[in-house]
Amino acid sequence: MRIAILTSGGDAPGMNAAIRAIAVVGKSRGHEVFGIRDGYSGLLAGHWMDLDADATEGITRQGGTILGSSRCAEMTQPGGPERVLARLAELGAEGLVVIGGNGSLTGAHVLASKRQLKIVGLPASIDNDVGHAGLAIGVDTAVNTIVDACDRISDTARAHRRCFIVEVMGRNCGFLAMRAGIAAEADAILYGEASLDEAHVLARLERMLARCFAPGRHKKRALIVKSEGLPIPIMKLRGAVQEIVTRLAPGVDVRETVLGHVVRGGDPTALDRTIAQRLGFASIIALEKGLSDVMLGWEPPFGVGRETMDPSVRIIPLEEVLAETSRLLDGSSPVIKRRMELLAQVEEILPG
Ligand code: F6P
């Protein structure tokens, strides 16, 4: 087969590991493998590159994507997918592996429904907001980056007895804030899925801060990890928290740090490389079996998807993936409900 690889949407650490695995495994099994440059936009412009052994050597450890990425508005416009398919036909592609998040996989599903070529999606997004993905490529690295940043911030916070609010990426998904917040011993974790209004958020923070700065306590720092999906601007939150802290512990300052794109870069962790390599390997096998319009998930919830020869990798139709993604984002998925219930239990036992 002639197989194209495309990375699209926000890049995620581990994309390169997936690209190399697909290229190396594909070639070793007699396929031609090439890379599309700059996502769907680059494809429309006909930009591609060869992925021979030299081009991919050493990229497993690199963040970002050597292919480049983009968010392509044309894919959602009338005629856009047809133009993309025409380009793929010109390039002689018989199979396509799309590595990306929600938008990218939605595009993959639209293209696959036209049945012109076989398309397999691999979930890659630091947000971990792709339905049934289990752990998407890039999430583990992003969590580790946030934990490292919070540890550093905690050092300086303790030196000055300060309260810090750290805002992390995740779009509308609080997964990064939740997982990293617990690992970094945060005193509070704020995320959009709880749908609390500002007054409720501040009341919760006041209860937590009252415990942190109770008379007789010598706690040196308070850490609030806020997901960007919580719709309260960070400076407004900082002002409101400063008012509370000044009442409870005069002289204690509040500071804010927005980690932003720092969370998206960096060398992928060993776990992200493993996930990327094993999903990449499975994508070649899936294409050889003639599968299309599917995504490969890493240890998705029990019972979801069809098994592969790899016990951690399962095959899930893209239609199911996208339906579950919508449920994750509107809070109706059992996965997000369980996540919030667990976190609520953890918050009960946070010492403050
Ligand atoms: O989806 C990945 C992500 O990094 C989100 O966490 C964030 O909201 C968004 O992309 C930022 O997008 P951009 O790089 O286009 O500013």
> What is the domain-level CATH number for residue 231?
3.40.50.460
Q: Of 264, 279, 307, which residue sits at a domain end?
A: 264
Compute the distance from residue 306 Cα to the ligand 1 centre, in Å. Answer: 31
Residues 258 and 279 in one domain: no
Confirm whether 38 is a catalytic residue.
Answer: no
Alpha carbons 250 and 247: distance in angstroms, whole number? 6
- Ligand 1, residues 11, 106, 126: which to mutate, most atoms within 8 A of Cβ? 126
Residues 56 and 98 in one domain: yes
Q: Of 214, 230, 264, which residue sits at a domain end?
A: 264
User: Of 10, 306, 19, which is closest to residue 173 (Cα–Cα)?
Assistant: 10
Residue range(s) defining the domain that contains residue 277: 2-138+268-330
∠ CA 82-86-92, nearest 5°, is 145
Residues 164 and 197 in one domain: yes
Which residue has the CA at smallest separation from atom 8 of ligand 1?
A: 171
Model pTM score: 0.96
Residues 161 and 250 in one domain: yes
Task: Note whether residue 342 is domain-resident.
Answer: no
Residues 222 and 95 in one domain: no
The DSSP bridge partners found for residue 99 are 7, 122
Atom of ligand 1 nearest to the CA of 171: 8
pLDDT in tens, the chain (352 residues): 999 999 999 999 999 999 999 999 999 999 999 999 999 999 999 999 999 999 999 999 999 999 999 999 999 999 999 999 999 999 999 999 999 999 999 999 999 999 899 999 999 999 999 999 999 999 999 999 999 999 999 999 999 999 999 999 999 999 999 999 999 999 999 999 888 899 999 999 999 999 999 999 999 999 999 999 999 999 999 999 999 999 999 999 999 999 999 999 999 999 999 999 999 999 999 999 999 999 999 999 999 999 999 999 999 999 999 999 999 988 899 999 999 998 888 876 666 6
Residues 255 and 294 in one domain: no
